[in-house]
Amino acid sequence: MKLIEFVRERRWVPVSGYLIYVAALAAGYYYNLTFVQLGLIDLGTRLVGLPPGTVSMAMAALALLTLVVAVTSGVLMDRRGTSADLYAKLRLLFAVVLVQLVLTAAAPYVRSPWQFGLWVAVCALPLGVGIPVTFSFMIDFVPVRDRGYVAAAVAGLSFFAAALYPMEWRIEEFSAVMAAAMAPAVVVLGVLSLRRVPFVDALARQHEAFGTGRFCRPEPIRTTSATFWGLVALMFGVFFVDSLGFLRIIETPIYIYTSWQSPEVGTRLFIAGVHLVGAFVAGVLYTSFDRKWLFLWVFGLFAFTHLQYVFHIRFGSDGTPPLLMPMFYVLAVSFYTTLNFALWPDLSTPETVGTHTALGVGIAGWLATFLSTALALYSEGIGLPLLTHLTYVNALALLLVVSLPVALYVHRMVELARGVSAS
């Protein structure tokens, strides 16, 4: 690892870049995992009193607005050279966190539908700007060789913290925790971004050496290429399958109170530990293998996991579900989250990282997650049984498992045919 070389050579500036990246991305992902995805549902249904169907529409609107803002921000960042300007990105992040701090502190006081709608609309702005800003930090702080491991650290730490705290998934607890963490972050970002700091000057030049991603050698990946959009489609499928199943599982007491919301600290520690182990393994696999194998393993893990839940509902719902069920779910989530953090910067150069991360994370992450969340809430609202819902999810996961090697085979045949016709 390059990090070990930096430590041995006492080059503390690049080492500080690793720490800043992991801290910023882990905190941001923890915020999205807990406050936005789970807290927003609690805010809309419990405090405001909206039916699940209306909240699902709000979630879909949030996803679409976030995507529009993210893509607009990413394209503008690339065109204006902001993607390669660390100080400019730090100033944008400072503004993002400041707005989010105000929204986070105000959330528990939202009581009416129009306040909820306004809160959602404003929330989409910092979320959208934050996507290309934070994900493009990889080109400033992390060498290509270490990106799998660093992505694993971000995924593992954010999920580890989310599995342990807060104990109750309520907007009041999320708001208190987030506001306490964000207030000092605003101060630090203000200091780093609004004045020249020597070690930030050094960090700002690192993109010249770190900026070209792993999959952009020898030729950069174009935004309009089939390779880029094929990966967006695959990652969209991963996020969609995950949230579509998870949002119904956590609404089922026998599954949620024996795993993610268990009163037993040992159970929560087990899940948090599996997140760390899963992320570490994913980091090793990302570094050592081609990306198509990682997608195949993720789809396979999701298919196997949902199959376990389907069998348990059908044949063993009277007994306590084994921890193996959430364990495999956690492994799948850690795998694809690690892949998501490393993949988009590795498909980019300093000239394209804003657009690529905005499209990749915006479409494959945010849009897929919140569309599937909205669909899961709708499924619950119309009274679709959990068994039927998870059977559909499992069928979709199995379809993706089968479709990936078929698509790779067809792509290979097309390449060979083009080679023959060219020769």
| DSSP, residue by residue, 79-90 | HHTGGG-HHHHH
Asked whether the beta carbons of 228 and 219 are under 8 A apart, the reply is: no
Distances from the Cα of 338 to the Cα of 89, 270, 298, angstroms: 23, 19, 11
> Angle 173-179-185 (CA atoms, 0-180°, nearest 5)?
145
- Our CA angle for 69, 74, 75, nearest 5°, is 105
Mean pLDDT by 10 residues, the chain (423 residues): 91 93 91 82 87 81 90 95 93 95 92 92 93 94 93 91 76 84 90 86 91 88 89 88 83 84 86 91 86 77 82 76 87 87 93 94 83 80 86 85 80 73 51
Crossing angle for the helix pair 113-135 and 86-106, to the nearest 10 degrees: 160
pLDDT at residue 154, as a whole number: 93
The per-residue b/e assignment along 117-132, b for 16 or more CB within 10 angstroms, e otherwise, is bebbebbbbbbbbbbb
What pLDDT score was predicted for residue 393?
Answer: 87
- What is the pTM (predicted TM-score) of this model? 0.87
Rounded Cα distance, 15 and 2, in Å = 10
pLDDT for the residue numbered 59 = 81
- The first and second tokens of residue 158, run together, are 């954010």
Quote the CA–CA distance of 170 and 16 in Å, as a whole number: 34
Residue 13 one-letter amino acid: V
Determine phi and psi for 349, rounding to 5 degrees: -120, 170
Tell me how crowded residue 221 is: count the other CB atoms within 10 A of its CB: 18
> Rounded distance, CA 114 to CA 98, Å?
23
Do 325 and 309 touch, CB atoms closer than 8 A?
yes
Six-digit token string for 388? 């039927």
